Chain A
């Protein structure tokens, strides 16, 4: 009997203790005791000014935050630098995450679920975020990042240079329904032939250092890196072979695409077209030459539009997870998300309105509808895979075999599958 009473007292005490601890208000952080750090791949002054402005505004109502630092890293080695920081125990509090890495980061439990903070913040309106855009970041009852840029790839072009080269304007071709990769290659060749040192097309984020961005080209040919299950390599498909033969021809036969090791700058005015996203086209506002923009050309198989996505996430290894999550929620609330529209197409539905985009960005309303609104609704996000890190470099180093004039395209693509297939299973 005594034992029974003792057990009851002990259980009651334990429950009371747990309840007491549970209802204790979280100890407020001391004034100026927290410094947050966010890594990003942009060093664009306008982008930095936007984020610094948000940080300054946030600090006014959050005295515990001493500073919010924004660390710009090189895009080509961004993920490598970020993961090295994480592995080395120096994880930033917040980070921009590329769409290709989202699955892998989630698989390794690197991202914090910020849904509780989003839901607890009055007026955050999670339901406003287009569900398709949240795909990579959402799990049941969890959101692991906010896709602050859902940006379709498009062809921005130098209309003056193309006209001078005697080629047809991409917008004219589009209006006639003839905006295809084959015609885009003709325009590019005309520009390259027009004057030495000119290039018809460039693709700055590809630059032979990555490969998944080539989906912007190969999807029009009906190709994919792997099948829908992600378990079967399809680099050796006929469609991929056609796509790569086409691209290889632009580089080495037409010489209209810069070869490896050759630098080109669309904004310098000697490149006819550039395969970029709105977030990288802000400099066009100050160009003296006439420019235009059209969606990605149709391929022989599909009119495939491709979306690049960037998420803002809190790292689960951050020492200031709560403060970082609070800042993320503040920086992505409806009011602040509207500030991104000038540079980054948004996935909150009211901000996808072409009028809103046109008012804030370099695009006019027609362009905004065609490139952003239609691009997001029709487009598919860039290639990603949960085991990306174990195959990414193998694909890159094997595809290096393509970047020479006498490359055997089909043999190289077969080699890619031979090498990565065991890892995909």
Chain B
């Protein structure tokens, strides 16, 4: 009995934090999704499932969902492939590798807003990127205004922002692969690619799963980059779900509908994470 009390006491800070900072907001959003809550006037009326019915018929929401999937479909493989590639490179023994690790990790500690504003300056039509492209005799693009470049720009700004974090995860995993595995495979005549495919990848597969879950969940929550780089434009071409939720909540002041969208996003991301977890047994070599 005493152990039970002590345990509860020790867990209380986290438990209270979870109740008030996670559970309460989630329950509030679910409740608000059944209302016509206007945050400006404070007026709210229960309207049943009207917001969800509207969501199904909302052509804009469909386009936004498509944009979100495109964003995630580009971001996740590019981010993971680059992070793994860098981790493999920086796992080799060469002079200055610690400096390179620090350079690639540094965007992670920079504020997202500052990072995005700097990129907005670099990517504008008369900005430094087009200037340097111009020096080589080529013509640059209006990266933030002419399709398909705005979406690609937003993805790349996000990729470089978080690349370092995934790289560190992979690096830690790579350093955990037993050296003797490579030595014995070498005796067996395995080449570098075979070693990577048959030893490295299976050994780091739990980390690949972790990074995949985090990156996919992050991809569906991207917001600041869209707000600051393109404002969702041109047209709706870079409007993703989290930004659309913000627009409905704080620009159109339809918090009820925004809540319904947020609930759908929540269910989708959770479903995706559960699915990834369920299928892990098919491709994850071992669980740590």
Task: Name A residues whose Cβ lies closer than 8 Å to a Cβ of B.
Answer: 80, 83-84, 86-87, 108-110, 209, 259-263, 389-390, 392-393, 396-398, 400-401, 403-404
Contacts and interface: CB of A to CB of B under 8 A. Distances in A.
Contacts of B247: 393
Given A80-B250, A83-B250, A261 B40 contact: no
A393 B40 contact: no
Contact of B39 (A87, A259, A261, A392): A87
30 contacts: A80-B251, A83-B250, A83-B251, A84-B250, A86-B40, A87-B39, A87-B40, A87-B249, A87-B255, A108-B40, A108-B41, A110-B40, A259-B142, A259-B145, A260-B125, A260-B234, A261-B143, A262-B125, A263-B124, A263-B126, A389-B251, A389-B252, A390-B252, A390-B254, A393-B247, A400-B234, A400-B235, A401-B234, A401-B235, A403-B145
The majority secondary structure among interface residues of chain B is: loop
Contacts of A109: 41
A73 B231 CA distance: 17
Query: Quick one: which of A108, A260, A261, A263 has the most chain B CB within 10 A?
Result: A261
B157 to A, nearest CB: 15
B287 interface: no
B144 interface: yes
Nearest to A396: B233
- 8 nearest A-B pairs in the assembled complex, by CB-CB distance: A87-B39, A261-B125, A400-B234, A108-B41, A108-B40, A260-B145, A400-B235, A84-B250
Contact of A397 (B38, B126, B235, B254): B235
Contacts of A263: 124, 126
Nearest to B41: A108
A261 B235 contact: no
Contacts of B239: 397
B115 interface: no
Given A83-B250, A209-B231, A389-B251, 8 more contacts: A109-B41, A260-B142, A262-B124, A262-B125, A262-B126, A390-B252, A393-B251, A404-B145
Nearest to B253: A389
A392 to B, nearest CB: 7
A35 B17 CA distance: 31
A387 B260 CA distance: 22
Contacts of A110: 40-41
Interface of B: 38-41, 124-126, 142-146, 231-236, 239, 247, 249-255
A317 B233 CA distance: 33
Nearest to A84: B250
Nearest to A91: B40
Contacts of A261: 124-126, 142-145
A233 to B, nearest CB: 17
Contacts of A390: 252, 254
A396 B253 CA distance: 17
A397 B250 contact: no
A398 B253 contact: no
A110 B38 CA distance: 12
Contacts of B38: 108
Given A262-B124, A262-B125, A83 B145 contact: no
A86 B39 CA distance: 8
B29 to A, nearest CB: 14
A319 B1 CA distance: 48
A260 B147 CA distance: 13
Query: Quick one: which of B143, B144, B253 has the most chain A CB within 10 A?
Result: B253
Nearest to B250: A84
B4 to A, nearest CB: 39
A112 B232 CA distance: 34
A87 B250 contact: yes
A84 B239 CA distance: 19
